[in-house]
Amino acid sequence: MQFPLNNTNPEFGYCPVLETSAKVIMEDKSGSPFLIEHSVGKGTVYFCTFPIEMLALSSHDEQWKYTLSRIYRSIYQTVYSNPLFSIEGDGLEMGVWKNYDGNFYKVIIINHSWDETPGILYIRNKTFKIDYCSSECELIGTNRCGISLGRKGVCIFDIQYIGK
């Protein structure tokens, strides 16, 4: 993907990293750091040397949505290497809420795209059961559910922990 940089405007310019002790997750085509990860205290900071969100806002190129989704997904998969629930689908965002006793989850999936978007909700293991889905969904095996969300659509799942 070509980045429409404007180095005369700091909001749209590249921030070179000349030297770092951080872990380089992604590099640009010239081998310079693109996305880095650094531990700070009990947390982790991710830094992108390109202002990808500002560039995406000013662009009408739909490819940005997919590029940003892949970058955020790679960070999510690094932080949560074995999540209970995950979503696959370009432009889809997922939030998970657990009730106080830990036996019930609400999973909300949002389609940020202006187009209908297919996706798959992955459930880590077979100890969960989908009690409710606000959209039409198709169970694929015992731990996947296929959905298709209209433009800017939302899907809500109620998922119950059923034990070992």
- The dihedral region occupied by 157, where left means phi > 0, alpha psi between -120 and 50, and beta the remainder, is beta
Please state, in angstroms and rounded to a whole number, the distance separating the CA atoms of residues 10 and 55: 12
Same domain, 52 and 26: yes
Same domain, 19 and 72: yes
Asked if the structure places residue 47 within a domain, the reply is yes
Domain that holds residue 103: 85-161
Residue 69 · residue 77 · CB < 8 Å: no
Q: How many domains does the chain have?
A: 2
Asked if the structure places residue 4 within a domain, the reply is no
pTM, entire model: 0.65
20-75 per-position pLDDT tens digit? 899 998 888 888 888 899 999 988 888 888 777 776 776 677 777 677 777 777 77
Same domain, 120 and 143: yes
Same domain, 73 and 98: no
